[in-house]
Amino acid sequence: MEPLLEVKNLTCGYETAPVFRQVNLALYPGQFCGLVGPSGSGKTTLIRAILGLNRPWEGEILFRGIPLKPGNSPPKVGYVPQVETVDWNFPVTALEVVMMGRYRHQHKWPWLSEQDKAAARELLARLGIEEVAGQAIGELSGGQQQRVFLARALIGKPDIVLLDEPTSSSDLRVQHELLHLLSQLNQQGLTVLLSTHDLNSVATHLPWVVCFNHGLICQGKPIDIFTPANLERTFGAEMVVYHHEGRVLIANSMTTQFHPNQHPEHIAKI
């Protein structure tokens, strides 16, 4: 099968400092892939390079086998940015945010038709948040905001959606709902690349993972590549990996140790 998106010998950086060198990565149609690594490891730089927002120093990016011109994004790509980069006080409704994704492909904002608005409402309904269409984006809950930006990414009917740390500031319920929703969309044929440092969410929800830290460390099924050695190479910290009934659970080794204050003898004296 031909890759949908392929990164070949990619080197990126800022000013004179490289972020990563000679990265090779292929994503196939219908793949649901997690990009994991610590903060500052280059995950966002890689995603921005794929989107055409960062010009590579070396290498190339191909979409369906065709090299993209430097600074150009794949023709059918959706993008959900980090929530920290969004101005939640900007006076815009949820429906208007979704329709911004329509503009990206049709270049006629603000002259969008009733058909465009109907498509945006239909997508909000599909994601279970039709009732927030007229509300200001800053008034929504974290989970609703994530779904609105996912709707914005989907309204252009992309072949692939890139999400940059979509669950970084979400509570566990919102994380689970978003990942479950992405899994459903993936089963309907959408290719997804999601960056995160939440290893347990990846191990639970995603079938394929790429470990990244200023370059590609390893990739494969979570149950195969989430080993203490690979995780230490990726995160620079000792990890404990538990296997239970076909599932993988991961913890930092420091968080699994008892503090002296938690010793039963100490607790009994309190």
235-257 mean pLDDT? 81
Q: pLDDT at position 6, please?
A: 97
- Kindly report the pTM of this predicted structure: 0.87
Least reliable range by pLDDT among 78-92, 144-158, 189-203, 225-239: 78-92
pLDDT band with cut points at 50, 70 and 90 for residue 3: very high
What is residue 122's predicted lDDT score, i.e. its pLDDT?
93
The whole-number average pLDDT for the span 136-158 is 91
Domain boundaries, the chain: 81-158
Mean pLDDT score across all residues of the chain: 87
Torsion angle of alpha carbons 66, 72, 75, 76, nearest 10°? 120
- Report the run of H or E that residue 61 belongs to, with start and end: strand 58-63
Band (pLDDT 50/70/90 cuts) for residue 82 is confident
* pLDDT at residue 111 greater than cutoff 80: no
Position 132 pLDDT exceeds 70: yes
Whether the pLDDT of residue 267 is over 80: the answer is: no
Per-residue pLDDT at 41: 95
**Greatest Cα pair distance in the chain:** 72
Digit-coded pLDDT (tens) for 15-74 = 889 999 999 999 999 999 999 999 999 999 999 999 999 999 999 999 999 999 888 889
Contacts of 251 (CB under 8 A, 6+ apart): 239, 240, 242
| Residue 222: closest CA among 243, 202, 194, 250 | 202
- Sequence-distant (≥ 6) Cβ neighbours of residue 236 within 8 angstroms: 38, 213
Token pair recorded at residue 34: 């997690």
Please tell me the predicted confidence (pLDDT) of residue 261: 59
Residue 259 has pLDDT above 70, yes or no: no
CA contacts within 13 A on the Cβ side of 95: 18
pLDDT for position 26: 97
**Cβ partners under 8 Å of residue 28, min gap 6:** 1, 3, 4, 191
Helix axes 94-106, 142-154, angle to 10 degrees: 20
163 vs 8, 59, 122, 199, CA distance in Å?
21, 23, 22, 16
